[in-house]
Chains A and B, each alone.
Chain A
């Protein structure tokens, strides 16, 4: 046994990358995720619309924080209630308060932002307790009703399944494709590819496209199961969702190929893939609300493709958010895709073009 232990230590010492991952990565992950792991919502973005928007906006109970007000100036302007709903649908706010001249105030809460909605509910619990139409007030206006939109029962499955579909794709896409190039390297066929009349882009796309087809089929199955078994609504455009899914799958698979191209062994590739999977699950807003993550760590979330896919899938499936308001995550995904594809192709070029023996 002693001989085995000594041999393992010797092998481990030679595999510097694995050793570094075993020692440095847990500490790094603990620090980053420690700052991220919080369900506490300190600020709930709130918009106020209607004639009494001014005084209501000034007296919002904590943690509701003002994200905008709207008072239509002309008769043909968009009605306050419609504006408020648009603000929630487009993800600009989690709570919208619609004040009316002499009418009961209406509070709309975005149920797709589960933790923010729960925090808003708690902050406005005194209204719930008194009934939908009460003499109590929000910010001093008389009477108020509360309506939770998009996820009225605040079901966890409704907000988790759209994002979980993304997690499954990350797992299938990044982890499985990360083995592709390493396997060629270890089997010796990479050298064969290097002398074959193939361009680096041919090899990159050739590696990705089969997994792309499988991943899209996988996504369709996951969503069908989610809708059929868990009753998750699909309120928006399938085409918009499909476009987002295509971009996301491209980034995910490209990341897998990039990881594979920088790894020497299948073990290293798996380790690296898991290292990208963990932060995506914990920092993308899937579990912990982005607004709860400490700002010093939150920027990492904006480098992760799952952050944008979660935004798109929840937006389209739960709120029927249109492409016109969802375009930012599409643009970021496209940018990430371009960066990952360029880096992966450059890596391919590096080892498909002959290296220099100098």
Chain B
């Protein structure tokens, strides 16, 4: 399956006996944010490494611009912790032959609270500031493709807002932003979402398309269902139990239940349940 823009087509990656990615396709369009979402070990980092050019896939193909036009934030800090903020920025500018980053850089640093930390060693920054610096250095060459591996994981809400400002700014400037996250509420902000599970595609499309594709209904209960079949289709969320009712499946557990309007997190849970239980309703 060919996807538009930069990205991957039918990419497979195997590490020894473990299939890290199995025929995964993904497209990242200019001016849009595309998010890869999934649990730990789903294959998000492997897919992003393939697209960024840090790993060659065992099968399939990758579409990416020239190395000078790619910004990449790896899973780690992505900056030299024994260099200061300013030195990291200078190194990246020189390596990408970026002539003048003055006004843009000042805006980025000012908006993210890093302006006062220009002379501090990167290793002395807090986790959130380090992540923001990693995204800013990835943004320096004004890339056509910006690949960010979990930029917001483990970051406080204020820093997350700053990071999303940077991400939105990059997309507004025309970059195709491809990022991964474990937070579905973040993924819901993206133009397109790819849901991965154990190296395979669970769902793909706009958040609305993914939610709309949920077969059947979702109800919420205060207690976990007693019927075994329904217990297996239930998950805990916000202090209550949600139960997925596939089309035509009878309600087995008595008691009060309320229908809910599903969101992306519900859609991801249902997609995972469908795979786990082998349910294939259209």
List residues of A whose CB falls within 8 A of some B CB: 187-189, 191-192, 194-198, 353-358
Contact = CB atoms under 8 A, between A and B. Distances in A.
Given A357-B13, A358-B14, A187 B58 contact: no
5 contacts: A188-B75, A195-B53, A195-B67, A355-B56, A356-B57
Interface of B: 13-15, 20-21, 46, 49-50, 52-58, 66-68, 70, 72, 74-81, 95-97
A188 B50 contact: no
Given A197-B95, A357-B57, A358-B13, 16 more contacts: A187-B81, A188-B74, A188-B75, A191-B49, A192-B78, A194-B54, A195-B52, A196-B96, A353-B56, A354-B50, A356-B58, A357-B20, A357-B21, A357-B50, A357-B56, A358-B14
Q: Is the interface of B mostly helix, strand, loop or mixed?
A: mixed
A354 B54 contact: yes
Contacts of B95: 196-198
A189 B54 contact: no
A187 B77 contact: yes
Contacts of A195: 52-54, 67, 70, 72
B78 A197 contact: no
A197 B49 CA distance: 16
Contacts of A189: 76-80
Contacts of B54: 191, 194-195, 354
A354 to B, nearest CB: 4
B55 A197 contact: no
Given A195-B70, A357-B14, A358-B58, A188 B53 contact: no
B56 A188 contact: no
A188 B14 contact: no
Contacts of A354: 49-50, 53-56
Nearest to B64: A195
A257 B236 CA distance: 53
Contacts of A194: 53-54
A10 to B, nearest CB: 21
Contact of B67 (A188, A197, A358): A197
Q: Which of A198, A354, A357 has the most CB of B within 10 A?
A: A357
A285 to B, nearest CB: 39
- Going nearest first, the 5 A-B pairs with the smallest beta carbon separation are A188-B76, A357-B13, A358-B58, A197-B67, A354-B56
